[in-house]
Structure 1
Amino acid sequence: MTDDQRRDPITPSDPPQRGYDIARQALEEARTRARADGKQVGRGRTGPVGGGKRLRKRGWTGSGADPWDPQPLGRLVGQVAKRRGWDDKVTTGRLFAEWDRIVGEDMSAHATPERLEEGVLYVRASSTAWATQLRLVAADILRKIAAAMGPGHVRRLKIEGPEKPSWRKGPLHVSGRGPRDTYG
């Protein structure tokens, strides 16, 4: 027999301690110390995640809205976007996604928003005739955008005609403007 065995004899009546028993004993010791320090013990969580309200004794929360109610996903995403400074990008994405509904199917078939920079919305028209038409009704388009997205996001429209075709084909070319025709 070793010296350790002589000092700490294990009797067959003591069951071996399991991890669960050790954890329970540690928890009880911590609670005892906390009570001795004058703290309240065994209260658990005081409310929903992020909230500071206390749980009620009864199981129902009542008829009014409270933090325990499910939240619409759009509202939660909007709050995250606002906290992170993504408001402008989300608004721009919404404008581009809802362009058909905002300006109408006629106009959206011939006009496509390209980018929004510092309150100026760049719109590409399918032809020069449509570009002229869009310039004539630009004030109405701005009103529709303000009604759908809120005022101040788009202050001005910059309407551009169709892209001019490139006549440069291959590595060799002749200088000059190319064929003379009316583009944009």
Structure 2
Amino acid sequence: MWCAAIVCFAFSLLLIVAGVVILIVFLAVKPRAPSFDAAGATLNAVYVGSPAPYVNGDMTVVANVSNPNQKMDVVFRSAAVELFFGGRRMAAQALPAPFVQRRGQSQIISLHMVSSQVALPPELAVAMVNQVRNNRVVYTIRGTFKVQAKLWFWHYTYWMSALCDLELTAPPSGVLIARRCSTR
């Protein structure tokens, strides 16, 4: 009985010491999630077919993916970006993965989002035509990333999502005039 009590006591002390070591490493490293930002975008073309509400579009997005950590590298194991208008998916593109970002590194990625014969509900097609006429077209970009954080011999894998609302002028020379991006 005393032997079991001593083993339990030793195991409890081992757990406490391990917890303190993990807390100290966490506070020393201060891990932060990578960020995704739409640094620029151009709306090259938007065509809404008539009478059928089919949409063709062409947009180029310049994205900035950065690793704000000063003591950890991150590896993007998979990455996909989707373009939405009014909640309807217009285009999707997978990024070349895996790619590594070292400590404090940023990377510029060019995304060419092409939508071809995307069926829109009539009310969304009318909204798109009105936005093009008013010279203010609003799109949403959603990115989904599988990220692996690496610190010495230890690594941790998690899913990260990014959401960007983009406001652009009308094509053919549509430029980005406002953006709001968040990463979770």
User: TM > 0.5 between the two?
Assistant: no
Larger Rg: 1
TM-score for the superposition, normalised by structure 2: 0.24
Query: Between Structure 1 and Structure 2, which shows a larger proportion of helix residues?
Result: 1
Larger strand proportion of the pair? 2
Greater relative contact order, per chain length (Cα 8 Å cut-off, separation 6+): 2
